Structure 1
């Protein structure tokens, strides 16, 4: 968890995909889950609890299964997936399930503002 928080902070991201050794999407973490102090358990002090939380494996706190979108998905499909999931963004995956990118609500809004024509919505 500590490494994931550090990487997300360095990259200015609020969420990140979790992949296996083959690069296949297995889950996702968000800043909210990584800072989810409700699962601190039996620790005696806040410092001990925070240290224990940060030492956990990211797979124990990731969201899974996680929805994703394909590289060729139109904006209507992406917008629907974002709304249905309630997540701030979703991984973009290849046909083999490997993560090739990430799309956020902000990305969808940028496309909508840039190309106000209805053809962008598929």
Structure 2
């Protein structure tokens, strides 16, 4: 059974309206102990995300308001160039509503997406959390890196069950013959003898695909080698 975002996400979502003023946004973040909140329009559809960092632009560029010059550090400038936000800081410092302060569009994910999909989205966009939206674009949850780590806390017996379910029954036996599955601290060990080499290969691939598996150790043999390895040929120039 595949683990989805819905299985690990936080269902409590605190949002702010697109026209919410600066102070109200700050109060929402501080009162709820959160670092960012989805911004929704009049139909409750997610249109962006506003964070503590967006609000802190006021302080970062405050010197400009008193006539003093300010230039972000080289490190900050490089980070913003990499993330495509090199021009956003000063603009956000002059904004006073969620619509002007937010990052848009928001990085969202479906509640039925796989854990792997969520992890890839976080990596691609350089974010620590994703807004989970329904098919109407309305928020139904938040999934963070910490939520994704929950799958590594799964009981070893449950992990073993999921691995065993994915291996064809005719290739599996837990006594004197067949593929033996053992799990310790999330590490799967496959031992024993499969009927065919292709069955052993399938068992390894099955274990590797199970969410929460830390590693797969293979100690398998087989009676029949039915995997055809094509010879490598090199064309002369």
TM-score range, shorter chain: 0.7 to 0.9
Q: Which residue of 1 aligns with 2:108?
A: 68
Structure 2 Cα separation of the partners of residues 108 and 95 of structure 1: 22
Choose the corresponding residue for 1:119, options 196, 210, 214: 210
Structure 2 Cα separation of the partners of residues 29 and 91 of structure 1: 12
Structure 2 Cα separation of the partners of residues 26 and 67 of structure 1: 10
SS of residue in 2 equivalent to 1:64: coil
Q: CA deviation at 1:54?
A: 9.2
SS of residue in 2 equivalent to 1:65: coil
Q: Which residue of 1 aligns with 2:98?
A: 58
* TM, length-normalised to structure 1: 0.80
Choose the corresponding residue for 2:146, options 93, 100, 106: 106
SS of residue in 1 equivalent to 2:124: helix
Identify the range of structure 1 (30-39 vs 11-20) with the bigger mean alpha-carbon deviation.
30-39
* TM, length-normalised to structure 2: 0.43
Say whether 1:25 aligns with 2:46: yes
Identify the range of structure 1 (27-36 vs 111-120) with the bigger mean alpha-carbon deviation.
111-120
How many aligned positions are there? Answer: 115
Larger Rg: 2
Structure 1 Cα separation of the partners of residues 63 and 99 of structure 2: 17
Q: Is the contact between residue 15 and residue 89 of structure 1 (CA under 8 Å) also seen in structure 2?
A: no
Give the structure, 1 or 2, with the largest relative contact order (CA under 8 Å, sep 6 or more): 1
Structure 1 Cα separation of the partners of residues 63 and 38 of structure 2: 26
Say whether 1:82 aligns with 2:173: no
Q: Is the contact between residue 74 and residue 120 of structure 1 (CA under 8 Å) also seen in structure 2?
A: no
SS of residue in 2 equivalent to 1:120: coil
What residue ranges of structure 1 are gaps of 5+ in the alignment?
46-52
RMSD value, Cα: 2.6
Structure 2 Cα separation of the partners of residues 107 and 54 of structure 1: 35
Structure 1 Cα separation of the partners of residues 63 and 102 of structure 2: 17
Structure 1 Cα separation of the partners of residues 35 and 111 of structure 2: 21
Q: Deviations over 1:28-73 (max 9, x none)?
A: 011111212345585228xxxxxxx597011101000121000111
